[in-house]
Chain A
Amino acid sequence: MNLIDPRSIYALWRRDVTRFLRTPSRIIGSISMPLLFLVFLGFGFSDAAIPGLPAGVDYLQYLVPGMVGFTMLFGSSFAGLSILSDQDVGFLKEILVAPVSRTSIVLGRIAGGSTTALVQAVLILVLSVPLGFRFDSLLLLPVAAVFLVLIAVTFVGFGVALASQFSDSEGFGLIIQFVIFPLFFLSGALYPVESLPDPIRILAFMNPLTYGVDGLRAVLVGSAAYPLFLDFGALVVSSVLMVAIGTYLFERVEAV
Chain B
Amino acid sequence: MVAIQVESLSKTFGETTAVDDLSFRVEDGELFGLLGPNGAGKSTLINMLVTLLRPSSGTATVNGHDIIEETAAVRNSLGIVFQEPALDEELTGAENLTFHAQLYGQHKADRDERIDEVFELVGLEAERDDPVGSYSGGMKRRLEIGRGLLHEPSVLFLDEPTVGLDARTRRDTWEYIQRMNDEAGVSIVLTSHYIEEAEQLCDRVAIVDDGEIAAIDTPAALKDSLGGDVVILEVDGSLSSFCSRLDACPWVMKYTTSPTQVRITVEHGETRIADLVRLADETGVAIASVDIHKPNLETVFLSLTGATIAERESNSSSDANDSALEGTHPSTTADRRASTTPEDDE
Report A1-38 residues with CB < 8 Å from chain B CB. Answer: 1, 5, 7-8, 10-11, 14-15, 18-19, 22-23
In the complex, chain A residues whose CB is within 8 Å of the CB of B100: 94, 98
Contacting residues of chain B (94-109) with chain A, CB-CB under 8 angstroms? 95, 98-100, 102-105
Residues of A within 8 A of B50 (CB): 97
Minimum distance in angstroms from B42 CB to a CB of chain A:
13
Asked if A249 is at the interface (CB within 8 A of a chain B CB), the reply is: no
Residue of A nearest to B79 (CB): A97
- Residues on A with C-beta less than 8 A from B88 are 15, 19, 89, 91
A243 to B84, CA, bound (A): 30
Contacts of B86 in A (CB 8 A): 89-91, 93-94
- In the assembled complex, the CB of A162 is this many whole angstroms from the nearest CB of chain B, namely 22
CA distance A140 to B284 in the complex (A): 102
Contact check, A95 vs B47: say whether CB atoms are below 8 A apart. Answer: no
A15-B105 contact, Cβ under 8 Å, with A90-B85, A91-B87, A97-B51 = no
The answer to whether B47 and A255 have CB atoms under 8 Å apart is yes
Asked if A8 meets B75 with Cβ closer than 8 Å, knowing A18-B91, A97-B80, A256-B47, the reply is no
Instruction: Kindly provide the distance from the CB of B121 to the nearest chain A CB, expressed in whole angstroms.
Output: 19
Closest to A94 in B: B86
Interface size class of B (residues with CB under 8 A): 20 to 34
B102 to chain A, nearest CB (A): 4
Do the beta carbons of B47 and A11 come within 8 Å of each other? no
A254 at the B interface (CB under 8 A)? yes
Cα distance A100–B76 in the bound complex, in angstroms: 10
A96 at the interface (CB under 8 A from B): yes
Q: In the complex, are the beta carbons of A254 and B71 less than 8 A apart?
A: no
The chain B residue with its CB closest to the CB of A89 is B89
A19 to chain B minimum Cβ distance, whole angstroms, is 5
- A104 shortest CB reach to chain B, Å: 9
Tell me the bound Cα distance from A10 to B106 in angstroms.
13
The residue in B51, B76, B98, B102 that gathers the most chain A C-beta atoms within 10 A of its C-beta is B102
A15 to B99, CA, bound (A): 8
CA distance A139 to B95 in the complex (A): 39
A95 to chain B, nearest CB (A): 7
How close is B230's CB to chain A, nearest CB, in angstroms?
38
Would A10 and B102 be within 8 Å (CB), given that A97-B75, A99-B75, A254-B53 are in contact? yes
Contacts A90-B86, A93-B52: A19 and B91 contacting too (C-beta < 8 A)? Answer: yes
Q: Tell whether, in the assembled complex, residue B72 and residue A256 are in contact, meaning their CB atoms are under 8 Å apart.
A: no
Which residues of chain A are near B80, meaning CB under 8 Å? 97
Q: Considering the chains assembled together, what is the distance between the CA atoms of A95 and B82 in angstroms?
A: 12
How many Å from the CB of A102 to the closest CB on chain B?
11
Residue of A nearest to B106 (CB): A7
From residue 51 to 87 of chain B, which have CB atoms closer than 8 A to chain A? 51-53, 71-72, 75-76, 80, 82, 84-87
> Residues of B contacting A15 with CB < 8 Å?
88, 91, 95, 99
Contacts of A1 in B (CB 8 A): 71-72, 75
Least CB distance from B149 to A in Å reads 14
Alpha-carbon distance A29/B88, docked complex (angstroms): 21
Task: Encode contact with B along A204-229: 1 for CB under 8 Å, 0 otherwise.
Answer: 00000000000000000000000000
Of the A-B pairs whose beta carbons lie under 8 Å apart in the complex, a sample of 16, sorted by A's number, is A1-B75, A5-B105, A15-B88, A15-B91, A15-B95, A15-B99, A18-B95, A89-B88, A90-B86, A91-B87, A94-B82, A97-B51, A98-B75, A99-B72, A255-B52, A256-B47
Chain B positions within 8 Å of A, measured between CB atoms, are 43, 47, 50-53, 71-72, 75-76, 80, 82, 84-91, 95, 98-100, 102-105
